[in-house]
Amino acid sequence: MIQATEFDIDTEKGNFRFDTDYAFDAGVGLNPDVVRYISNVKEEKEWILNFRLKALETFLKKPLPTHWATDDLKNINFDVIRYYLAKGQKPSRSWDDVPDDVKNTFERLGIPEQERKFLAGVEAQFDSEAAYSNMKEGLEKEGVIFVGPTEGLRDHPEVFKKWFGKVIPTSDNKFSALNSAVFSGGSFIYIPPGVKLKQPLQAYFRINAENFGQFERTLIIADEGSEVTYMEGCTAPKFETSTLHSAVVELVALKGSKIQYITVQNWSNNVYNLVTKRAMAEEEAEVRWIDCNIGSRLTMKYPGVILRGRKARGEVLSIALANSGQHQDTGAKMVHAAEETSSNIIAKSISIGTGRSSYRGLVRMPKHLKNCKNNTECDALLINSDSQTDTYPAITVQGEGNSVQHEATVSKVSADQIFYMQQRGLSEGEAMSLCVNGFVNDLIREFPMEYSVELKRLIDMEMEGSVG
């Protein structure tokens, strides 16, 4: 077996930081006044404040889920986190109006360039609020809405209020409750019936401040027969202390619509990334989560689809890369709630050094339903002898004519394989990169081109950094 060497987990891309002044700062720790402060800054309606305050109560009441999840959650100190930090500017529609320090950050991350090349719209969030938000001309006229939650709930309540907090109720888990109390930033998107966006919408979430918690909230509603691809990227610089990212993402795919949600997360290695993502798919609708988790200290994320309408389809394609000191606890949930629904889960994880990846899957098909199908495939690749992987599938299938296929594999990169490849002139890092790329290749092929290139690059960097 290959010896675990010193691992440099940082992928460097996001590891930089420009000094920033904040006009609004909710201070340290969490209490009803902090929640009021946030709501007040946003000039929210009474019902939203009440929603938040109630959520705070739920959060405080709920225990950490350490009876099934890792004890590392206990190391989060909710009292030292800053829950809201903003420069007090409205999101600009032009990069020229974005303050220099923030603009430089996003330029360095390549966001404006990507926007020009292949995106229909971009929202760039810096700590608690979006600094930039813009859509290609014409989309607005078609009735597409792409705003933040504050604007969404204030300017389009008739569209968003109905679904807000419905796919993921506040009390779903401790962190969805936390998000519901202090949420800020994120994307509220509405695609009108029959509108098919050819290019993706993108959000970029950037944590810039230390001891900070980012709690964006996203709600995407695809009306009947519409289609949208949404991509999110995330980075943070490498701080000494830990940072919390806890988002709630709700997708609503109405009859015959298609939503594809792509995440390429590249957090630095002290971010707790505890995210709840769930979709509801109506008749003949399709929801596809593509979820790539690189970096972070602990990620817990299990994107799900509730297949509520006949012939709805749900899919989760996920790649997790756990380097030394990291735990990627990821998976998928498929709840079949109508006949002839089908779901597909392909999860690939890579553990490097002392990294650990866990897969948790939940597939439910109740008794009274017919002709539901699920296919689950989870593959783990271990790079070093002390790398870890574990699988916790929970599959409940009742009812006739329902079928479930489950396949799981664990493979190791052996010292012999590395030596063989080195004998041909590849460095140890290049050899591992090639193995890892080979392992995820068939999955990456499913991704939009721009993202597969970025992902391959990230994997290469991660592997390069992972050898002596």
Partner 1 sequence: MNTLQIKNLSASIADKQILKELCLEIPQGEVHAIMGPNGSGKSTLSKVLAGHPDYEVTNGEALMNGVNILGQDADEIARSGLFLAFQYPVEVAGVSIANFIRAALQARLPDGESIKAVDYYKDLYVQMDELGMDRKFTSRSLNDGFSGGEKKRCEILQMSMLQPQYCILDETDSGLDIDALRIVSAGVNRMRSKDRGFLVITHYQRLLEYIVPDVVHVMWDGKIVRSGDKSLALELEAKGYDWIKEEIAA
What are the distances in angstroms from CA 289 to CA 27, 259, 292?
35, 8, 10
Backbone angles phi, psi at 174, to 5 degrees: -60, -35
| Rounded (10°) CA dihedral 122, 125, 130, 136 | 0
- Report how far apart, in Å, the C-alpha atoms of 176 and of each of 83, 130, 171, 304 are: 15, 21, 7, 14
CB of 426 to partner 1, least distance (A): 5
Whole-number minimum distance, CB 434 to partner 1, in Å?
5
Nearer to partner 1, 396 or 414 (CB): 414
Least Cβ distance, residue 414 to partner 1 (angstroms):
7
- Listed in order, strand segments (DSSP E) in 268-372 are 271-281, 286-295, 298-301, 304-307, 313-322, 327-336, 342-351, 356-365
Q: How far is the CB of 465 from partner 1 (least distance, A)?
A: 17
Which of residues 47 and 420 has its CB atom nearest to partner 1 in the complex?
420
Query: Could you give the count of Cα atoms lying within 13 Å of 243 in the half-sphere of its Cβ?
Result: 25
Q: Find out whether 364 and 398 touch, Cβ atoms under 8 Å.
A: no
Q: Which is nearer to partner 1, 337 or 434 (CB)?
A: 434
Q: Rounded to 10 degrees, what is the CA torsion of 12, 122, 284, 445?
A: -40
| 94 versus 423: smaller Cβ distance to partner 1 | 423
Shortest spacing between CB 413 and partner 1, in angstroms: 9
> Quick one: 398 or 411, whose CB is closer to partner 1?
411
Interaction pattern, residues 61-90, with partner 1; x per rule: CB under 8 A: ------------------------------
Nearer to partner 1, 3 or 241 (CB): 3
Helix ranges (H only) for 392-448 are: 415-423, 428-444
Q: What are phi and psi for residue 285, nearest 5 degrees?
A: -85, 160
Alpha carbons 318 and 326: distance in angstroms, whole number: 17
- Pattern 293-332, partner 1, x by CB under 8 A: ----------------------------------------
Size of the site for partner 1 (CB under 8 A): 23
Six-digit token string for 455 = 């992902």
Q: Which is nearer to partner 1, 79 or 416 (CB)?
A: 416
Q: Which two tokens stand for residue 331?
A: 């998976």
Question: Cβ of residue 421: shortest distance to partner 1, in angstroms?
Answer: 7
For partner 1, which is the closer residue by CB, 206 or 348? 348
User: Applying CB under 8 A, does 5 fall inside the site for partner 1?
Assistant: no
Q: How far is the CB of 440 from partner 1 (least distance, A)?
A: 8
- Residue 94 in tokens: 């032009």
Q: How far is the CB of 15 from partner 1 (least distance, A)?
A: 22
SS3 label, residue 34: helix
Burial letters for 40-69: b for 16+ Cβ neighbours within 10 Å, e otherwise? ebbebeeebbebbebbbebbeebeeeeeeb
| Of residues 406-445, those binding partner 1 (CB under 8 A) | 411, 414-417, 419-428, 430-431, 434-435, 437-439, 441
- To the nearest whole angstrom, how small is the minimum distance from the Cβ of residue 431 to partner 1? 8
| Nearer CB in complex with partner 1: 29/465 | 465
Secondary-structure percent of the chain, ordered helix, strand, coil, rounded to 5 = 25, 35, 40
Return the number of the residue (405 or 414) whose C-beta is nearest partner 1.
Answer: 414
Distance of closest approach, residue 436 Cβ to partner 1, in angstroms: 9
DSSP alpha helices (H): ranges in 42-155? 46-61, 100-108, 111-118, 149-155
Whole-angstrom Cα distance, residue 192 to residue 142? 8
The residues binding partner 1 (CB under 8 A) are: 411, 414-417, 419-428, 430-431, 434-435, 437-439, 441
